[in-house]
Amino acid sequence: MKLINGKAVAEEIKNSLKQDVLSYTQKHKRPPHLAAVLVGSKPASLAYVGNKVKSCEQVGFKSTLVKLNEDVTEAQLLAEIKKLNEDPDVDGFIVQLPLPAHIDEVKVMLAIDHKKDVDGFHPINFGRMAQGLPCYLPATPYGIVLLLERYNIQVAGAHVVVVGRSNIVGTPLSILLSRKSPLGDATVTLTHSRTKELSKITNTADIIIAAIGIPNFITEDMVRNNVVIIDVGINRVESDNQNTKAKLVGDVDFDAVAEKCSHITPVPGGVGPMTVVALLLNTFKAANKEIYG
């Protein structure tokens, strides 16, 4: 079993990007600029945005954090998005999800200028991705593809089973890996919580990508020997012991499954750092106007 070290790969990519950012900054007299909008103070969202800000500092980006109260109105949030859309100094920005229940996430997503949508969620970017056109790829799928590439995991011709059909990970990833491209050409089965006889399907997989959001969902009996497992899940499991902190676990029962795998990502330290790196790469493309000119 080989551990796929997303944290180490992310650091390698950031170190390489740092040199490109330095050249860009010298040429344009300003660094690339990534902004993030954070509504409320959920611990997971705070930690994730904090990692993004730290990574911006590492590679030489300018970063801006727009913090809004939990009770911010939808109109007020949309007004902040409009400001970022119109700010020529901001190359790309993200609105951290999830949002409070009183705010329509779809309306917010549609309000973001697709040319600054470095999370890759806007329907224009999603549609261009599906057709194989230049676009900002969704950050987590992009990070996963980079991991597979770095570890020389053969995707072309492989049977990939994606467990989870979200618009953020499962669905776009199934499209990316099935496209005719150097990092695609896989046969992809997209499964979800209502898939019948799921374990029969996962047992035929060369690569399993677990993104269903249920702790330890993929168990030993669901995988065959020498499978590659990419665990996207980040689930906080509270301890029965009041003196013990909550534990982060993935969607895969790592301890039970790992020895059957040829490669597997840990949680944390697997996909998470690569999502942030993908966001940085998209922002650098936005700064250079590589996609939309």
Count of the separate structural domains present in the chain: 2
Segment 163-180, tens digit of pLDDT = 999 999 999 999 999 999
Q: Is 119 a catalytic residue?
A: yes
Segment 64-103, tens digit of pLDDT = 999 999 999 999 999 999 999 999 999 999 999 999 999 9
Q: Is 253 a catalytic residue?
A: no
| 187 and 81 in a common domain | no
Catalytic residue (choose from 119, 206, 231, 251): 119
For residues 48-58, one letter each, b for 16 or more C-beta atoms within 10 angstroms of the residue's C-beta and e for the rest, the string is bbeebeebbeb
Q: Are 119 and 139 in contact (CB under 8 A)?
A: yes
Catalytic residue (choose from 14, 52, 115, 285): 52
Segment 181-207, tens digit of pLDDT = 888 999 999 999 899 999 999 999 999
Q: Is 115 a catalytic residue?
A: no
| 266 and 148 in a common domain | yes
Catalytic residue (choose from 91, 96, 206, 285): 96
Rounded to 10 degrees, the C-alpha dihedral 210/53/108/101 comes to 70
Note down the domain range covering 226.
139-272
| 154 and 243 in a common domain | yes
User: Looking at residue 138, what is its pLDDT?
Assistant: 96
| 165 and 266 in a common domain | yes
Six token digits for residue 255: 């301890």
- Judge whether 289 lies within some domain: no
| 145 and 194 in a common domain | yes
Six token digits for residue 13: 């990519």
Residue 194: CB partners within 8 Å, gap ≥ 6? none
| 215 and 92 in a common domain | no
Instruction: Indicate which CATH number applies to the domain containing 51.
Output: 3.40.50.10860
Task: Note the pTM of the prediction, 2 decimals.
Answer: 0.94
Instruction: Indicate which CATH number applies to the domain containing 268.
Output: 3.40.50.720
| 247 and 143 in a common domain | yes
| 143 and 256 in a common domain | yes
